[in-house]
Structure 1
């Protein structure tokens, strides 16, 4: 599959699921709880922690020397560019390193499926699983549009990001912003070139690896060697620190990806055939339901203390119900008529001619 992807999807990158790699590591690497070094921990560090290729090679060689049978380690090392952090610096992964969505769907299906289940039962269960996931997605999007996340520091950039990003993405951005406040900088040669290291907020701070950041005031950019924005689409703490040093207090528009915002589903996009895909119509219905239900609840709360007001509301609702049903039936009839007319317009001319002849009296 990897070789086919290189030829067919020339601009795509094929990676390996880190979850399955760790499952295989558990099977093939010996584990000794009494030992000071844990091979699984070392392998996990090689996968996630080493951003430099030289350090990765040194750590992997040190780990291999501790294993007598190196068959699995040798095979996984040959495809290291598909799972090691240092080889994925320029890959736009959006932070995903495993087949999370696929595995969760497979797991939901496997829980209730047995060899005795027939094809009808399978599709019934499959439809329930898909509907449940669609409902959860719709609920998450509704909450992301209607609820504001919790802001820990009331800075202009965080206030801006809280209104733009979805709650989950904002939490990630806010974490990077907090880390930037603990960053130390060292001026390098050139205008607005810095070496930035993030420290821990403690009495004895420990600093992470330094990264070089190049800032530009005219374009309001801060390019960091860690490459987090290029991989995930969220600015890193190093770049945020340099933006602050350049007195840029709001997040520049070119650092806001639409896919991470509350407006991600607004507008139209095109599918593989060039057809426009509109926003989910169910979401608009839920928003209208939310507004109406809020008004009805407030009105019922006020009228509950008066029997006369309750009778007035009941009579009014009965009258409104008839009007709403009539309007809905009329809309449905108009819709059906439009569909029938469209079908007639699209029918071949000979069929129309035949239909006219049948209507003529004998």
Structure 2
């Protein structure tokens, strides 16, 4: 199972070996996932159209929005549709799918193109229309998914891991190689953490809000926000209606020789703005259509409610508990984390090489035991030296810290 971290990177949340792809197997896997992951059920899960997995998700994650991969569906149009119909009407299908912001608009455009193409009774198209709430953006944007609408991140991840594993690997070889690949992936995340901790992103626009977000967001997510901010300068705000409860604006934007209009609603009592494009709900970043409203009202700094913690540099800070309620502690020093990742990667490579022969295993085992003794000895000496510098008592009889020779239990034992 894959996810997205605060840098926008694809990360492995969990993996499991299944002997068969049945509903029962998937339910077991999801239940184990819930035990390992704090924070409750995920908001969204994206999969292909596997029937057994769909049933398992409804059982294990009843409150999770199950979204079907839009790439898997749209890639089938060329196969499912008659050749001439696909060639002539595919672009119109694309516009209906991607260029509509609300459900009614999608339904109208879909029915228009289906009628024009003479495909009103096409069984596959009819079945996809019946499933539209699970894959069409206009129906699914209100569910947070970190901007993902397909499982292409999974496809890319498969390509990454194929560099390390093959069908010829034994189970033990597979696990070692897979862990090695994971360590490489984690190292990229640690490097990104290190960059965000010690480097400040450069702002293209000299605005207080831009500088504020550069300080809060990770570099990758700040770039996404800044792109929205830049594009917002080409959006024009126009009052549509106003009453005692809310104000409605039309926000027009000229793009690719076509004018697109979004609807922004500002609710007075809650002091909250929302947009028909649903970018904030879907991606977690304020959209270019709401930003002109902020400029109109001379709001220089982004209100906290529009800044998601999951995109912040501090996203990983906070208390995390295990199944028993115990705090899970981790090192927060980026420098130490990178050192640990680098050494883990080296150790994984050495273990893999050693497993090629019995002699290699014996040599590595002996070397590690010898190294462990040296490290422990060095740790004790270091503690003694620090204690002596601080004036802490050090016993010459037993070598321990906290008492001297006269108070040593070993020396004074009759």
The TM-score normalised by the length of structure 1 is 0.70
Aligned to 1:19: 71
- Aligned-pair CA distance for 1:111: 4.9
**Residue 135 of structure 1 corresponds to which residue in structure 2?**
187
* 1:172 maps onto 2:214 in alignment: no
Deviation at 1:94, TM superposition (A): 2.0
Distance in 2 separating the partners of 1:213 and 1:116: 58
Contact preservation (8 Å) 1:165, 1:262: yes
Does 2:276 correspond to 1:222? no
| 1:200 partner SS | strand
1:190 aligns with 2:247: no
Residue in 2 that maps onto 1:63: 113
The equivalent of 1:52 in structure 2 is 102
The answer as to whether partners of 1:215 and 1:243 remain within 8 angstroms in 2 is no
| CA distance 1:33–1:224, change in 2 (3 Å) | closer
Could you say what secondary structure the match of 1:91 adopts? coil
- SS at structure 1 position matched to 2:274: strand
- What is the CA–CA distance in structure 2 between the aligned matches of 1:165 and 1:239, rounded to whole Å? 19
**Equivalent of 2:313 in 248, 257, 262:** 262
> Per-residue deviation at 1:331?
6.4
Q: Match for residue 104 of structure 1?
A: 156
The corresponding residue for 2:9 is none
CA pair 102-331 structure 1, distance change in 2 beyond 3 A: farther
Q: Residues 190 and 103 (structure 1 numbering): CA distance in 2 closer, same or farther, change over 3 Å?
A: same
- 2: distance between equivalents of 1:221 and 1:208? 23
Aligned-residue offset at 1:247: 1.7
1:2 alignment counterpart:
54
- CA shift for structure 1 position 252: 0.9
Q: 2:346 matched to which residue of 1?
A: none
**Is 2:333 the partner of 1:278?**
no
- Structure 2 partner of 1:200: 254
Measure the CA separation in 2 of the matches of 1:276 and 1:25: 50
1:273 CA displacement: 4.9
- In structure 1, the partner of 2:283 is 232
CA spacing shift, 1:2–1:115, aligned 2, 3 Å:
closer
Q: Secondary structure at the match of 2:261?
A: coil
Give the direction of change, closer, same or farther, for the CA distance of 1:157–1:114 in structure 2 (3 Å limit). closer
Q: Does structure 2 conserve the Cα–Cα contact (< 8 Å) formed by 1:266 and 1:279?
A: no
Cα deviation for residue 164 of structure 1 reads: 0.6
Mean Cα deviation higher: 147-156 or 54-63: 54-63
Counterpart contact for 1:265–1:279, Cα < 8 Å: no
1:43 maps to which residue?
93
Note the alpha carbon deviations across 1:279-310, whole angstroms, 9 max, x for none.
Answer: 44573415899xxxxxxxxxxxxxxxxxxxxx
Residue by residue over 1:299-338, the C-alpha shift from the partner in whole angstroms, topping out at 9 and shown as x without a partner, is: xxxxxxxxxxxxxxxxxxxxxxxxx9976444699xxxxx
In the other structure, the counterpart of 1:89 is 141
Instruction: Output the CA distance in 1 between the equivalents of 2:199 and 2:85.
Output: 46
For residue 74 of structure 1, give the secondary structure of its aligned residue in structure 2: helix
Of Structure 1 and Structure 2, the greater strand share is in 2
Alignment check: 8 A CA contact 1:18 1:97 kept: yes
- 1:76 aligns with 128
Show CA shifts across 1:213-269 (max 9, x none).
2154x8653233433222222111222211222221101112111111111112222
Q: CA–CA distance in 2 between the matches of 1:27 and 1:112?
A: 33
Between stretches 160-169 and 142-151, larger displacement belongs to 142-151
Structure number with the bigger relative contact order (C-alpha 8 A, sep ≥ 6) is 2
Structure 2 residue matching 1:195: 3-state secondary structure = strand
Secondary structure, in 3 states, of the residue corresponding to 1:207?
A: strand
Structure 2 counterpart of 1:159: 211
Question: In the superposition, relative to structure 1, how do residues 281 and 165 fare at CA in structure 2: closer, same or farther (>3 Å)?
Answer: closer
Q: Which deviates more from structure 2 when the two are superposed, residues 2-11 or residues 245-254? A: 2-11
How many residues are aligned here?
294
Q: Contact 2:80–2:124 (CA<8 Å) still a contact in 1? A: yes
Shift of 1:52: 2.0
Bigger helix share: 1
Residues 326 and 176 of structure 1: CA distance in aligned 2, closer, same or farther (over 3 Å): same
Q: CA RMSD in A?
A: 3.3
| Whole-Å separation in 1 of the counterparts to 2:170 and 2:106 | 50
Change over 3 Å in CA distance of 1:272–1:190 after alignment to 2: farther
